[in-house]
Structure 1
Amino acid sequence: MNAPMPPPVTFRESRSNALLIGGLALLVAILIVASAATGYARLEIGTAVSDWLAGRASLAVMVLVDLRIPRALLGALVGFSLGLTGAVMQGYLRNPLADPGILGISSAAALGAVVVFYGGLAGTVGLALPLGGITGAALAALGINLLAARGAGTLGLVLVGVALSSLAGALTALALNLAPNPYAALEIVFWLMGSLADRSMEHVWLCLPLMMLGWLMMASCARALDALSLGEDTATSLGFDLISVRLRVVTGAALAVGSGVAVGGAIGFVGLVVPHLIRPLVGQRPGASLLPSGLAGAALVLAADISVRLLPVRPELKLGVVTALVGAPFLIWLLFHMRSGR
């Protein structure tokens, strides 16, 4: 008896997906420009760009190139990583409540950065903070991959992720409790809230290669995710190596999300909310939701980052706080929606 295959994609679905991707890409481009134009001081983008192209080192060029553009690019990169990883995790685990932090990689990356804070390296070495976060994510991914290579199932991975997240959270709380002075503890807490302020192009170049490699690894699992929607036995019968899929999912998530946490802190709920908004638009196909979810995640983070600069609150709200204010009510609605069975 032949295993059931996922239904083929029709021309109408392909055209609809292309329009969705094109529309989201255009929205992200508009929001990047809007982010570069938004700040506490008025900035004429046209003048700044013309001065930049003419090679004039004006104040407007310095603000645009050194502050606004890196922040806008990081918003798009971090949001894309969170949205894409959330879609992959929900498709791989077949759980609508899965998010990029379910494997504990985000917590491990945050712990790595906190260790750098606690050791005093953040103030002496320029990129010590993001490098610490990337190291924490890499160590977590190594441990999870060792488990995946031994054939652990999805339940085993989730349990390991919960344990890893709890351990990283406990060690982070311990670092806060033993902080040498209250100012160090306050700085750690603010960083954990998530923010893209005061980032530079060095942060962009540090995280971009790692994120792109993670994106490619997760995107290579798109067909396997469609097959997994029919069950692990069916996916295996269709020729997919589930151990290889696990390794690519875990490693890709570690590279993408770990890099994002390393440069932007903890920004929650994006990877949970975005796939739910996208999946009905792509016929509930996990594989087809990956790219649109990444673009929608980029749009959501950019919009949230623009809003924290427009709100009349000084100092500005942390980006992670704003995304949580959006994501938490959505999670409550989702739980009631699932409970009602509608």
Structure 2
Amino acid sequence: MTPKRLILPLALACLVVGLFCVSVAVGYAPLDIGAAFDDLLSGRPSLSALVLAELRLPRAILGAAVGFSLGITGAALQGLMRNPLADPGVVGVSGAAALGAVIAFYFGFSSTFAMALPIGRLAGAAAATAVLLILAARGAGTVVLILAGVALSSLAGALTALALNLAPSPYAALELVFWLMGSLSDRSMVHVALALPFMTIGWALVLGTGSALDALTLGEEAAESLGFPLRRVRLRVIAGTAAAVGASVAVAGAIGFVGLVVPHLMRPLVGHRPGRLLLASGLAGAALTLGADIVVRLIPTRPELKLGVVTALIGAPFFLFLLIRLKGMER
């Protein structure tokens, strides 16, 4: 990567680091960050060190990791499908992960086992991933994978609605609805340890497809002639998206529009190159998610607004603007 091309990733990385520090510093109660870090590093037990280690740091780490996952996978799916409206939810993994959590909650596993919800989400994501990987391994094209993702999302949504309809009490249904909105509050290092390995694997798989996505802009036949096996590329993108997004939904719930909005904001800055867009979108997604989570904590509402609500309020108007612009370009 030439020095000129490093400017944007470095600037975005600095922005992410700055927002990460702000995220650690912001909370509902004042905290001496310097003293808390001193106590934490020296092993001295204190309330400030406990708050930092068990609340502030996990929330900031997950905010950056979830945002990076959504941003990079959104860019990869848009490049693979050559469709500017594609986002991580299109492959059905998000809906299936949400369904896994709903099942764990509905059958009472979450009341007997603290990590039942995130494990249920990972199980739902794994089931959807298995279906998509089987289709991709058998040579299914991009259109078939999109339709399979839509079918999985529809089925997961219908079963989730059924669980809500049959919930034993309105309070149980309300708790499910709140979880489905997405949030990073009350997360711990256990959640970080559960999700980060899957996210890292997903990032590595997706980042390795950059050259192939660049070639795909010339068409599938041209990409094949340049030596990029599309079946393997689809497998890597789908598997990477499923691992990263499934782990994100497992620990944070459904946070929409980040994977749709961020690639569009970054695309003009990277010369519309899908390969260069991956890292830029990941870093910008991390910055957007951290920023939205900071806003959530600064808004004086109790209980706090859900992170998924804030990202939807940002993303939905942008999505409508995008549709209007695309409609204008078709005329």
The TM-score range, normalised by the shorter chain, is over 0.9
Q: Secondary structure at the match of 1:87?
A: helix
1:173 aligns with 2:150: no
Hey, what's the Cα distance between the residues in 2 that align with 1:276 and 1:64? 35
CA-CA distance at 1:277 after TM superposition: 0.7
Counterpart Cα distance in 1 of 2:310 and 2:39: 34
* C-alpha separation in 1, matches of 2:182 and 2:4: 35
Structure 1 distance, partners of 2:104, 2:297, is: 28
**Mapping of residues 325-336 of structure 1, within 5 Å:** 325-336=313-324
The partner residue of 2:84 within 96, 100, 112 is: 96
| Equivalent position to 1:43, from 31, 47, 61 | 31
Structure 2: how far apart are the matches of 1:25 and 1:90?
A: 22
Q: Which amino acid aligns with 1:235?
A: A
**In 2, Cα distance between equivalents of 1:175 and 1:50:** 47
From 141, 161, 171, give the equivalent of 1:153: 141
- AA of the residue aligned to 2:43: G
Are residue 142 (structure 1) and residue 146 (structure 2) matched?
no
Whole-Å separation in 2 of the counterparts to 1:175 and 1:299: 34
Where 2:41 maps in the other structure, the secondary structure is helix
The TM-score, its normalising length taken from structure 2, stands at: 0.98
Q: Percent identity?
A: 64
The 2-side partners of 1:167 and 1:201 are apart by 32
What is the distance in 2 between the residues matched to 1:248 and 1:191?
30
> What letter corresponds to residue 292 of structure 2 in structure 1?
A
The letter of the residue matching 1:325 is L
The Cα of 1:312 is off from its aligned counterpart by 1.2
Q: Is 1:234 aligned to residue 222 of structure 2?
A: yes
Structure 2 residue identity aligned to 1:308: V
Among 267, 273, 277, the alignment partner of 1:279 is 267
> If each structure's helix is expressed as a fraction of its own residues, which one has the higher value?
2
Unaligned 5+ segments in structure 2 are: none
| C-alpha separation in 2, matches of 1:19 and 1:119 | 51
Q: After the TM superposition, which residues 312-331 of structure 1 pair with which residues of structure 2 at under 5 Å, given as runs?
A: 312-331=300-319
Shift of the alpha carbon at 1:52?
Answer: 1.8
Q: CA shift at 1:53, angstroms? A: 2.3
SS in structure 1 opposite 2:269?
helix
Deviation per residue, 1:90-119 (Å, 9 max, x gap): 000000000001111110011111110111
Matched residue type, 2:200: M
Shift of 1:17: 2.4
Give the whole-Å Cα distance in 2 for the aligned partners of 1:323 and 1:89: 19
Aligned length: 330
Deviations 1:160-188 (Å, cap 9, x if unpaired)?
Answer: 11111000000000010111111111111
